[in-house]
Amino acid sequence: MEVKKIISSLCYFSVFFAPFLFPVIVYFVTDEYDVKRHAKASFISHLIPALTFLLFFLAFIPGMPLSGDLIFGWFVIMMVVFGILSLIITIWNIVKGIKVLLS
């Protein structure tokens, strides 16, 4: 198996051990175009849930004229959406990592 395939797939599998750090390091260390492309794609896919989580909590600006029940309802809805999105992104990274290994 080629080393560049293994490193490219590890960028996707890093969602389990170093979601931001590993793809960034690989992107700046390697000279291979394909490995850089996979590192960038995996970094962006790892970044999507983090940005979603940040945006969800920025939605709760202090001083919003909402009642407690409404805030709790929005919080529950946003956590469900975040959980589903995180699950989809994790499955997508696993599938992409396997595809890179098998190609």
The per-residue pLDDT for range 11-60, each reduced to its tens digit, is: 999 988 888 899 999 999 998 899 999 999 999 999 988 888 887 777 66
Rounded to the nearest integer, the mean pLDDT of the chain is 85
Q: Predicted confidence band at 73 (pLDDT cuts at 50, 70, 90)?
A: confident
CA distance 20 to 40: 10
pTM of the full structure: 0.80
Q: Where are the domains of the chain?
A: 3-102
CA distance 41 to 6: 15
Q: Predicted confidence band at 64 (pLDDT cuts at 50, 70, 90)?
A: low
